[in-house]
Amino acid sequence: MPKKSFIFYLCIFCLLIACNRNTDLYRVVGVKDGDTMVLLSPENQTVTVRLAEVDCPEKDQAFGQSAKQFTSTLCFGKMVKLIANNKDRYGRTVGEVQLEDGTSVNKELVKNGYAWQYRAYSKSMELAMLEQQARLNRLGLWQDANPTPPWNFRKGEKQQRTEKKSRKTKRTYKKRRSRKHRDTVAF
């Protein structure tokens, strides 16, 4: 009798582990850039995730495509665990993504020189040390003499867009003014 009970409870225990194992794992179905990916939940819902505490170069910035490729190679098509922190202003889930073996994608990006620690949102000493090691070893983006942080790159792009809009508005104003002037001169 005890042998049958043991086998019964062992089967129940194994079943619980098997069921529980898949409920918190997501499949990586897309990598938008180095620090943004699309996960498929166990309920077949897509979740766009922005990796917390790290910032990769933008796609059209130096090492942007390399960061995206690194992230893809590391986790595309694999099952991962999502440790969500919150949502950002774009509706993306912000969090840490871990491979099944516990490897943090966030930390691997910084460790291999494909991301900065995003100091505005992170106080992690571990990330700071990983970034310092990558800098010293001139890994990834640290091969450049003076790499531009993505937050500065984005500011520059925003400023260029604003200046372009301003120039366009001035041209439109001048055209309207010259037409008005022609109309008044013609009479």
Find tokens 């439109």 and name the residue: 172
For the chain, give every domain's residue range. 24-151
| Options 92, 96, 108, 131, the catalytic residue | 92
| Options 21, 27, 43, 50, the catalytic residue | 50
Reply yes or no on whether the pLDDT at 134 is more than 60: yes
3-state secondary structure of 174: helix
d(CA 56, CA 58): 6
Distant-in-sequence contacts of 137-143, Cβ < 8 A, 24+ apart: 137/113, 138/113, 139/112, 139/113, 140/63, 140/66, 140/67, 140/70, 140/112, 140/113, 140/114, 141/57, 141/62, 141/63, 141/66, 141/67, 141/113, 141/114, 142/113, 143/113
Tell me: the pLDDT tens digits for 144-169? 999 999 999 998 876 766 766 766 66
| Options 21, 43, 58, 163, the catalytic residue | 58
Mean pLDDT estimate for the chain: 86
Considering the segment(s) 24-151 as one domain, its CATH architecture is Beta Barrel (2.40)
Reply yes or no on whether the pLDDT at 37 is more than 70: yes
Q: pLDDT confidence of 100, banded at 50, 70, 90?
A: very high
- Which residues, in sequence order, are CB contacts of 114 under 8 Å at separation 6+? 34, 56, 57, 63, 66, 67, 70, 71, 140, 141
| 27 has catalytic annotation | no
| 92 has catalytic annotation | yes
Q: Which pTM was predicted?
A: 0.73
| 50 has catalytic annotation | yes
